[in-house]
Amino acid sequence: MGTAPEKLATAADLLTGTEFNAARVRELFRLTADVKARPDRYRTALAGRYLALIFEKPSLRTRVTFEVGIQSMGGGSIFLDHTGTRLGQRESIKDVAKNLERWVQAIVARVFEQKALEELAAHASIPVINALSELYHPCQALADFFTLEERFGNLQGLTLAYVGDGNNVCHSLLLAGARVGANVRVATPAGHEPDAAIVAEALRVARETCAKIEILRAAEEAVAGAQAVYTDVWASMGQEQEAAQREKLFAPYQVNEALMAQAAPEGVFLHCLPAHRGLEVTDAVMDAPSSVVYDQAENRLHVQKAILLTLLV
């Protein structure tokens, strides 16, 4: 699948989630809570600041929340549609970065390859924010754990079970979970485990925060007693040709009422969306009172506003 990046971003970037240590995540969540509770306080906080949004992949939540987020704080955004032409094809990524840094105050990029983000960050003097790559989805994972903190009050010792493909969302849940002191259990079919280097980084941080990281095979083992059950699509963007094969392989990992019944009585269901109802999750679970998928989606806005404030102010 890949390896952890050789070059980590500076503290001014958010490329992998490893740039934020446990203390900085706590500060981010405190700011997020304030931004959500008192949005008027931040109405002009980013006045005169502009984002360049570079998207190689389509988006609903990510684009809307970043555009609304910056505009609600007095700034603006420029959308650069790269769904037809990959970043670096028309001109070098270096030249894109060098141009954009003269006009805007940050770059938000949703890309197929993590190395494109790394190259942007290497050549741009302004913050670069990962809005999704094949290896990481840090904004999503931060919003997920903020949502769980709202629900349960405390993340230390909380257990999140992720079942399905060991993909970018899974990677970021491991990294963020370790930082907030949550226990993260991952259950995947053989050959679809999360990247070993990323698991090793999560384990390293978990030793410092007293979190527990487990990589398992059976969905039932992961979900047993968990306060949060999480899944994602079985075939990510770019893997559509594998969809039929993956449906058979991942069928035992469907989150349905029987699987959710093995979670804690207060357990909640999470999904980063979009969801393929009837595949990785059933309608009954998606639409149940225990589903917090739309809370997650809302909190993308508030967490990303806090990220912009942290990196741009």
- Residues with catalytic annotation? 110, 137, 140, 232, 272, 300
Nearest to 261 by CA among 292, 294, 226: 226
Two tokens, residue 165: 């493909």
Nearest to 275 by CA among 264, 267, 284: 284
3-state helix, strand, coil in the chain (%, to 5): 45, 15, 40
Nearest to 32 by CA among 126, 181, 142: 142
The enclosing H or E element of 172 equals helix 168-180
Q: What are phi and psi of 221, to 5 degrees?
A: -65, -40
**Residue type at position 44:** T
Give the HSE-up count for residue 27: Cα atoms under 13 Å, Cβ half-sphere. 9
What's the distance, Cα to Cα, between the start and end of the chain in Å? 36
Nearest to 182 by CA among 150, 228, 221: 228
Q: Hey, what long-range contacts does 111-114 have (CB within 8 A, 24 or more apart)?
A: 111/54, 111/56, 111/57, 111/87, 112/56, 112/57, 112/86, 112/237, 112/238, 114/2, 114/5, 114/15, 114/16
CA 140 to chain centre: 3
Yes or no: say if 189 and 250 are a contact pair by the CB < 8 Å rule. Answer: yes
